[in-house]
Amino acid sequence: MVNSPSNTWKHLLELEEQSSFRSRLFCFSARPFRMRGSRNGQGMLMLNRPLRCPANIGCSCPHQLYVNLIDGTPIGSIVQKPSCAQNVFHLMDADNEPQLVIKGPWLAYHCCLDLAFKVSGHFEFAERFKI
């Protein structure tokens, strides 16, 4: 959330990670976690990411993130496609059908670069925008 005196930013959703100290200490970014999304103190979403191999660079054990309503109703998921050279993520709907594709640059495992990710529709080859 960004505090702005001109009120141009609005508070949309507050996210709180629920993970253990040990998983954060030893598994780093590969750690499993649950994240509760709330608005004005009322639960709205649950994000769940299972544990993935900490030695993974995307080749054999891609990351997944599941998004559910607070009552457990699935909304969708984000699935990383296995690749040793490029970060590719598919945004899936509740029926596990792909909706968007996010592609990162080739061989982009550097921490100090400003990376552009291209977003496109699953069945379209035209790029929609970059993030």
Q: Is 19 helix (H, G, I), strand (E, B) or coil?
A: coil
pLDDT digits (tens, 9 = 90+) for 103-114: 887 765 555 566
- Predicted pLDDT of residue 4: 52
- Residue 29: is its pLDDT beyond 60? yes
Show me where the domains of the chain are located: 14-130
What does the pLDDT read at residue 36? Answer: 93
- What tokens appear for 1 in the block? 């959330």
| Overall average pLDDT of the 99-106 stretch | 84
**What mean pLDDT is predicted for residues 12-33?**
86
Long-range contacts of 43-49 (CB under 8 A, 24+ apart): 43/70, 44/13, 44/69, 44/70, 45/13, 45/69, 45/70, 45/75, 46/70, 46/72, 47/15
